[in-house]
Amino acid sequence: MRSHPHRARYLALGTTALLAAALIAGCSSGGGSKPSSSGPIIIGTSLSLTGDFSTDGIAFEKGYELWVHDINAHGGIMGRKVQLDILNDNSSQTQVVTNYTDLINVKHVDLTFGPFSSLLTAPAAEVAHRYNFAFIEGAGGSPLVFGEKLPDVFDVALPVANELDPFVNWIKSLPASQRPTTAAYPMANDPFATPQVQLAQSELQPLGIKTLYSKIFPEEEPDYLPNADIVAGKKPQAVILGSVDVPTVAAFMKGFEEQHYNPKVFVAAAGPDQGSAFESAVGGPGNANGMMVPDAWYPGYPSATSQAMVNEYVAKYGGTASGVNADVAEAYSVGEVTAQAVEATHSLSGPKLIAYLHSGVTLTSVEGPVSFNSIGENVKAIAFIFQWQNGKFVQVLPTTATGSVPILYPKTNWSS
């Protein structure tokens, strides 16, 4: 038995354990000052700046930062400036829990904003709940989040399942001879995409629109072409695609083009709402023409604050108005709702804010009116359907809503 290497090893282990403990203790005692009532208001949030959700995480970051910049230009909240403390959760469940624990217990933030994605919002909301923080967020709208039935969760964005309602209503409003007679419902296996498409299918089938294809495919498919080919082969007049990102839509569009197949109407759950990222991925405005997508907001939304926000975004980050990602508006709305709640209750106390937000009051945001039910859903959120027309992203449905332009139907053919 060689004991010397043993000793060396255990010595090393012991030292490391102590070092690890010291590191853990050290980083958990440093940081923020105790909350005061006259310094800046510190708002903490965890965003996915790297990892799977990074595109949206970064858009959210820009939205939050834009709002902070604006609110401070108008004197802050309750006369105090606002400061943002953003941590990166790397799209990781473990990290988001650590981050909010840290923000609340070490950095001693006054308020919290939500992270990106329901998958991260659910665990994060539990942490906030534990410490009696109001948790206002704009990206956690799936049943997973609301299933917790936490009183502190407030989702300013549109609940996911109803996003396609205006589309369905429009089809219903068409005379029977003009409606598409057949439809395909390909869906990515994702809690965001599947519910709304399935709901749409259940409403369109009774109208006599024959379902030629209704299947769920893996969310991270290396190659969507075989699926696109199968759908194209059936030649449905309408395609309602449950996509979650630009690559999925782009792949289906590409597959359809290669099969020389063009549906009369094509609506995708997500992707066409990503502005210039979408347009360039599909090869330009010619191909994008006619593509429809639901959303609660778009850069052209006719509200003064929304327009102001869009102009500022373009001024600060460049690009054009149509390139502004809807995530930015969602994040901005989170800030707006928070500010209104704090001003109204004149306090930063979590329980007071929670009580106020659950009182049925209607607040305003760049995305329209906001009012929460008992589990935190925004029941006044409006759904719109948008369409690309000649390189512009315009609102088309509901036809009666202010700002809607005539819908382009049937969809024009591919032209890259």
In the range 355-414, which residues lie near other proteins by CB under 8 A? Answer: 414
By CB under 8 A, tell whether 88 contacts other proteins. Answer: yes
76/283 with CB nearer other proteins: 283
Residue among 74, 223, 315, 346 that touches other proteins (CB under 8 A): 223
233/302 with CB nearer other proteins: 233
CB 169, min distance to other proteins, A: 26
99/289 with CB nearer other proteins: 99
Site string for other proteins, 13-32 (x = CB under 8 A): xx-xxxxxx-xxx-xxx---
By CB under 8 A, tell whether 97 contacts other proteins. Answer: yes
3-state SS class at 129 = helix
95/289 with CB nearer other proteins: 95
Q: Which stretch binds other proteins (CB under 8 A): 66-74, 91-99, 341-349, 359-367?
A: 91-99
CB 303, min distance to other proteins, A: 28
C-beta separation of 338 from 113 below 8 A: yes
Residue among 258, 379, 405, 413 that touches other proteins (CB under 8 A): 258
By CB under 8 A, tell whether 238 contacts other proteins. Answer: no
CB 325, min distance to other proteins, A: 11
Residue 343 Cα to chain centre, angstroms: 26
Residues in region 119-178 near other proteins by CB under 8 A: 119, 122-123, 126, 130-132, 142-144, 147-148
194/395 with CB nearer other proteins: 194
CB 30, min distance to other proteins, A: 10
3-state SS class at 48 = coil
C-beta separation of 290 from 406 below 8 A: no
3-state SS class at 279 = helix
Alpha carbon distances (Å) from 307 to 298, 324, 366, 385: 10, 11, 8, 19
Q: What is the DSSP string of 172-239?
A: HHS-TTTS-SEEEEEEESSTTHHHHHHHHHHHHGGGT-EEEEEEEE-SS-S--HHHHHHHHHH--SEE
CA atoms within 13 A on the CB side of 75: 3
89/110 with CB nearer other proteins: 89
3-state SS class at 287 = helix
Q: What strand order describes the sheet that includes 111-113?
A: 82-88, 41-47, 111-113, 135-137, 153-155
Give, in degrees to the nearest 5, the angle at Cα 411 between 405 and 416.
Answer: 110
CB 255, min distance to other proteins, A: 8
75/233 with CB nearer other proteins: 233
281/342 with CB nearer other proteins: 281
Cis peptide before 398 (omega within 30 of 0): yes
By CB under 8 A, tell whether 2 contacts other proteins. Answer: yes
